């Protein structure tokens, strides 16, 4: 009988704690997030296609609203090291003509949504979706630039990114997590005209898939 009473007491206590957690008021707070990871990138520049790998770093600052969504600004970078897919006749210019050596620096504004922030389901809790509009600069080489004797060209880039991931709570305010991000940037020349109109029907672009480790304060 004592065991039955103890089990009932524990069950009632857990039920009360669960109800209290769900009824707790949602709060708003300062939000900061730092990302570090790796990327796989495909790009087209001046009709040259190539692929490469690199590193990603980004910091975001903003407000978490009612534990459900953030409004945030971000600043970050990523590198691209790889090769262009060129025919054999380019071999006469040396190995460097094939090399992709790029740095992309971008700032943006967007939101991260936590649709299951109040869920007790351990799989759903911490899941997030994010989206941002981006603008920045790319410092990138291509075969034409190398043949002409230059190292890199700087171009304006504009685009978006979409992200999906999950955070795990490590303290009352701090979380660690992982994210998968798709980022698309169109390359725009200094006159504000997209290279799409001048060179290639596909347009000049940088298309990146990024895997990120993240830590944030909510």
% of the chain at pLDDT higher than 70: 80
Strands (DSSP E) found in the chain: 29-45, 48-65, 69-84, 99-113, 127-140, 153-169, 174-188, 205-217
Per-residue confidence at 36, pLDDT binned at 50, 70, 90? Answer: very high
List, in order, residues 6 or more apart from 80 with CB less than 8 Å away. Answer: 39, 41, 43, 52, 53, 54, 100, 101, 102, 103, 104, 140, 206
pLDDT at 26: 67
Is residue 178 within 8 Å of 155, Cβ to Cβ? Answer: no
3-state secondary structure of 11: helix
pLDDT at 185: 96
* Residues 180-199, mean pLDDT to the nearest whole number: 67
Q: Is the pTM of this model over 0.85?
A: no
List, in order, residues 6 or more apart from 133 with CB less than 8 Å away. Answer: 108, 109, 110, 159, 160
Partner residues linked to 162 by β-bridges: 131, 182
What is the CATH number that goes with domain 26-217?
A: 2.40.160.20
pLDDT at residue 155 greater than cutoff 50: yes
> How many of the other CB atoms lie within 10 Å of CB of 79?
18
- Which of 9-18, 120-129, 133-142, 150-159 is least confident? 9-18
Per-residue confidence at 42, pLDDT binned at 50, 70, 90? Answer: very high
pLDDT at 146: 79
Q: pLDDT tens digits, residue range 161-189? A: 999 999 999 998 899 999 999 999 998 86
Residue 122: CA atoms inside 13 Å, Cβ hemisphere, count?
1
* Residues 74-96, mean pLDDT to the nearest whole number: 92
Is residue 180 within 8 Å of 210, Cβ to Cβ? Answer: yes
Domain ranges for the chain, please list them: 26-217
Q: pLDDT tens digits, residue range 97-142? A: 889 989 999 999 999 999 998 888 888 999 999 999 999 999 988 8
pLDDT at 189: 62
* Residues 18-36, mean pLDDT to the nearest whole number: 71
Partner residues linked to 145 by β-bridges: none
Place of tokens 């869920």: 119
Burial group, residue 20, by CB count within 10 angstroms (0-12, 13-18, 19+): exposed
pLDDT at residue 198 greater than cutoff 70: no
Is residue 76 within 8 Å of 106, Cβ to Cβ? Answer: yes
């Amino acid at each position: 009988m004592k065991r039955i009473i103890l089990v009932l007491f524990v069950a009632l206590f857990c039920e009360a704690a669960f109800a209290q957690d769900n009824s707790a008021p949602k709060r708003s707070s300062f939000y900061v997030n730092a990302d570090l990871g790796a990327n796989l990138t495909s790009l087209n520049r001046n009709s040259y296609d190539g692929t490469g790998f690199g590193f990603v770093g980004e910091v975001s600052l903003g407000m978490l609203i009612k534990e459900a969504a953030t409004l945030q600004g971000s600043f970050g970078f990523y590198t691209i090291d790889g090769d262009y897919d060129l025919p054999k006749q380019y071999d006469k210019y040396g190995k460097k003509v094939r090399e992709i050596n790029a740095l992309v620096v971008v700032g943006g504004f967007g939101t991260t949504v936590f649709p299951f922030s109040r869920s007790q389901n351990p799989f759903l809790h911490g899941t997030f979706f994010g989206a941002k509009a981006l603008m920045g600069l790319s410092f990138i080489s291509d075969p034409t630039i190398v043949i002409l004797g230059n190292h890199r060209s700087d171009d304006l880039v504009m685009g978006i990114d979409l992200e999906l991931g999950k955070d795990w709570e490590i303290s009352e305010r701090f979380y660690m997590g992982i994210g998968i991000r798709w980022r698309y940037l169109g390359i725009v020349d200094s006159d504000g005209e997209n290279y799409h109109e001048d060179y290639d029907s596909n347009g000049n672009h940088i298309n990146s898939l990024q895997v990120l480790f993240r830590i944030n304060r909510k």
